[in-house]
Structure 1
C-alpha cells in the first residue's frame, strides 16, 4: 500500500473481518449497498464474481485511493442455490437435504485499486461432502452452534466440521468466506507483502 492508501473490506460479514485480521494489516470496513439477486441464466461462479466486483466498486465511490476487497459466496446443492437459513427450521431443512451429499461453495474475490483502476478477480471453489446425519445429530448441532447466519448452516471453523466427511479446495479459508491465499497473491501484485508490511 502506498502512502495515504488504505485497505478496505467491502463486506458486512464478521467472518470475513475475522479472516482478514489474520493477515495483520490495518483495514477499514464498509458495508456495500449491492443487489445480490442472481441474473437470469447466470452460473453460480459468474454470480459470485459479479457481486464481488460490484461490492468493491461500491466502496470505490467513497474511497478513491484504496485497495478494496470485495467477496461473495454462492452455495450450490445440485442445481439449487442455498442461502443463509435465518432460523432453526430452515437450517434443519437445509442440513437434512445436504446430508450424505456433496455441495459446492463458489467463493469469489476481487481486489480493486481504486486509484489506478486495476482489478483482480478469482473464484475459489470448494467441494464439501456432508456425512450421513440423523435428525438427532442435526438437532444437537443446531442447538449448540446456532449457525443461522451461515450459508448451508455449517461452520467449518467450528463444530460444523463434524458434519463434513471431506472437502476439496485450493484454499481452506475460501469455505469460511475469504480466500486468504488468493488475496495474499493479489496484494503482492499491488506491492503489498503481508509478511514484511509495514516496510522498515
Structure 2
C-alpha cells in the first residue's frame, strides 16, 4: 500500500475533526465565527486552516493521479470524472494557498463565486463517480461514501430546521473520505497492464499477418 493515499486519508481525518469542532462552536456561539476563521482577531490561525486545506487537496489530487490506472479500469467516463476532480482539487489548493500568504485577503466577489462553483462541482462529480464504481467489489465502500451526499444533504437540511448542528462540511467529509479510501483501495490492487495491451499480447500473430 502506497503512502500517498494514506496521507490523504489522514488529512481528511484532520479536516473532519476541524469540521466537528466548528459544529460544536457554531452550536454554542451562533452569532460568532470560530477563532480559526476570524482573520481580524486571530490572524495567526487562518493560515493554519489554509495549510490544512491546501495539503488535503494537494494529497487528494496527487493520489488520484497516482492511482489513476487502477481506478479507471479502462473506462473513459471514470477517467474524465477523475481528472475533473484533480482539476478541482488543484484549484482549491491554489486558492487556499492565497489565504496562507495573506490571511486578510478579500474572499468576496469573483473569488467567492469561483470557490462556490468549484465546491459544487467537487460534490456533484464524486456522486457520478460513485455510481460508476459501485459495481466494482474493491471500490464498493468508497463508492457508497461518494454517493452519500444524496442522503447527507437532505438530512443536513432537516437538521438545520430542527437543531443548531447543521453544517455544510458533512457532505464534504463524506466525499473526502470516499476519495481517500478509493485511492487506498486502488493502491492495494496488484499492478496490471492496461486492458488494450493485455488483449494484444494474448492474440497470436501469424507470419502471414505480419506480411500484410
TM-score, normalised to structure 2, is 0.27
Greater percentage in helix: 2
Larger relative contact order (CA 8 Å, sep ≥ 6): 2
Greater percentage in strand: 1
